[in-house]
Amino acid sequence: MPLLIVPPKLAETCHGSAEAEAWLVALPETVADLAGRWSLTLGPPFAEEASCSWVAPCVTQDGAAAVIKLGMPHMEARDEIHALRFWDGDAAVRILQADVGLNAMLLERCEPGAPLREEPEPEQDVVVAGLLRRLWRVPADPHMFRHLSEMTAWWGDEAMVDASKWVDPGLTREGIRLMNELASDGPHQALLATDLHAGNVLRATREPWLAIDPKPFVGDTAYDATQHLLNCDERLRADPNGTTRRFADLLEVDHERVRLWLFARAAVHSRCDVHTPDSLVRRLAP
């Protein structure tokens, strides 16, 4: 079996987690098994963005271009396969084959595949908002998707483990409280992507742009504005009100809920910029 290339970011992410390290040790055998089972010819893995999964271009037996993806054990991304099947290629990349037990999937390849982040941020706003509004559908009961409150509770527990490192304990506690409060309600509930930003949108042929790498939860649609906005850090710091309102209007969600979500996330994940003059969490504070 040829030596499997593991991107450095992926190896770093797996370090320190017994479950992830065991997954990484088994990865060469798992990839070889899937390549044989699905009759794939593999190329070298994508390395730039690969921090939580092993992803590589491939060609199927009939000559079609595709992508193979194996996700490491990760709480947020557990139901990615189910979400892609639910959306069935509508605004998101289409799933061709999957092994749920291995969290492995064969995906259509986006070509030419350039990421949306290469475009100006105001254009990114329009594209991301358009994709999110199409993805926001309510799955019929019963369904397997977890509620957003499970993810916010998990983040809160993770933050509590690091309580001794909090720069501003009062601010972080308020962020945890508000994050859980916002997750418990919301005027509009749907299946969320939760991690849709310009790096997870690729130029394609079947549609101009397609979303990849969802971390699906059912919950408040206003939450889904946060990941893109937090990736527009400089613009958000320069004009938090205007930037938040513009994107919220494109999404047709309450801009104040978006601002509160942004503040809560920034407060919970804040590290060293809390007391700086342009502190994002201070600028977003209610």
Query: 3-state SS string over the chain?
Result: CCCCCCCHHHHHHHCCCHHHHHHHHHHHHHHHHHHHHCCCEECCCCCCCCCCEEEEEEECCCCCEEEEEEECCCCCCCCHHHHHHHHCCCCECCEEEEEHHHCEEEEECCCCCCEHHHCCHHHHHHHHHHHHHHHCCCCCCCCCCCEHHHHHHHHHHHHHHCHHHCCCHHHHHHHHHHHHHHHCCCCCEEEECCCCCHHHEEECCCCCEEECCCCCEEEEHHHHHHHHHHCCHHHHHHCHHHHHHHHHHHHCCCHHHHHHHHHHHHHHHCCCCCCCCCCHHHHHCC
Selecting among 79, 195, 220, 224, the annotated active-site residue is: 195
Cα 103–chain centre separation: 16
User: Tokens for 133?
Assistant: 């509004």
Verify whether residue 224 is a known catalytic residue: no
Positive or negative: CA dihedral 249, 251, 255, 258: negative
How, if at all, do strands 217-220 and 201-203 pair?
unpaired
Exposed e or buried b per residue across 91-100, where buried means at least 16 C-beta atoms within 10 angstroms of its C-beta = bbbbbbebbe
Catalytic residues: 195
